[in-house]
Structure 1
Amino acid sequence: MNATLPLTTTKWTIDSNQSDVLIKARHATIAYIAGSLNKFNGYLDIHEDEIEDASVEFQLDVKNKDTNIDHIDTDLILNDYLDIDTFPTINFKSTSFQKISKNINFLKGNLTVQNITKVVELDAELIGITTYEGRRKALFEITGQINRKDFGLTTNSYHHAAGISLGQDIKLIANLEFTV
């Protein structure tokens, strides 16, 4: 009689040095936020190249000059959206993970911007798994839209007068690299 061995799930942890976040509004990239001072914590449980469970937490230091904030559109700078002197961090902490199918996953959590915390639901996708320099790596992408007014993210009126039209939503894209 052959006994079937249980399939195991592998737990992967975030590599903070290889993870970043992009904050984008219609017509402009506001900021690409990366750097060693940002804190990323979390894990993925992967079974047969599919996500079984996930937990993600990050704290972005938007004020520190060493975080490689790269302003792509010179007409729109990060401080036009955020009061970075009063509220220098953006925080996210997941509260649940929901697997719908192989390619459809949702990560729900608390997002805090400018000291305002709201529950948000973000799309979560396993982009791929590879081996690099002997280490297994998994790339995980989290995307979602947030209503900028929910977090008090209004733009400088000078830019509105200059004819720049921005949408109500801001897109959040987190590229997270996990290792095992």
Structure 2
Amino acid sequence: MKRLILAALVCSPLSVLAQVGTWKVDKDHSSVNFSVEHLVISEVDGSFKNFDGAITASKPDFSDARISFTVDVASINTGNDPRDKHLRSNDFFNAEQYPQMRFKSTSFKKVTDGKYLAEGDLTIRDVTKSVKFNVTYGGTAKDAEGKQRAGFKANTYINRFDYNLKWDKTTEAGGMVVDKMVDIELKLEFVKQ
């Protein structure tokens, strides 16, 4: 029996064991994106260019991962300078008074192979609320320098009104110019430290 256990340990892929530890987001291979319905007929996409994040895990499948993530609100980019300026204003993010959005996980549960549910506290402006992200784990690989990398995609929907981003206008037909529901999608690559 001891030989079987020893053989299993020796034959275990080192990449699995290498996942335990701390991982930092690689900004050059990651993105923080959002989309929101505009005039009830289309969607506007945007992103945040400056962000930082880390994962710590003691289990090789990341099932006990702790995640912390920050986004610099002033780095918002929708491809339209006047709109971005408006989004930074007190009508939306008030980037001057509340320069960062923050997420801190409270749990990271494996649902099936490669699928996780991340729960945690999301702070925008001066409001903190619990949110859930559906997460897809893309796997790990070594880069050309021999560093371990892990890839994840995560998405959620939030109601911007819950976070005091309450600017609201209606169209002639009564629909919202900018919908209250916002789709958030993160494509993240982490490097093991």
TM-score (norm 1): 0.77
Task: Name segments (4+ residues, structure 1) moved above 6 Å.
Answer: none
Identity of aligned residues (%): 23
Q: Could you say which residue in structure 2 is the equivalent of 1:17?
A: 27
Q: Could you say which residue in structure 2 is the equivalent of 1:155?
A: 167
Separation in 2, partners of 1:21, 1:45: 26
The answer to whether the Cα contact below 8 Å between 2:68 and 2:102 also exists between their aligned partners in 1 is yes
Output the amino acid matched with 1:28: V
1:101 to 109, 112, 122: 112
How many residues are matched? 169
Q: Could you say which residue in structure 1 is the equivalent of 2:96?
A: 85
What runs of 5+ residues in structure 2 fail to find an aligned partner?
38-42
Indicate the SS of the match to 2:64. Answer: strand
Q: Alpha-carbon deviations, 1:13-68, whole Å to 9, x = none?
A: 02343443113212111x31123xx3312235674xx54332211111112xxx4x
Q: Could you say which residue in structure 2 is the equivalent of 1:28?
A: 44
What runs of 5+ residues in structure 1 fail to find an aligned partner?
none
Indicate the SS of the match to 1:4. Answer: helix
Separation in 2, partners of 1:59, 1:169: 21
Separation in 1, partners of 2:66, 2:188: 12
Separation in 1, partners of 2:59, 2:98: 35
Which one has the bigger helix percentage? 2
Q: Radius of gyration: which is bigger?
A: 2
Separation in 1, partners of 2:49, 2:167: 23
Structural RMSD (CA):
2.8
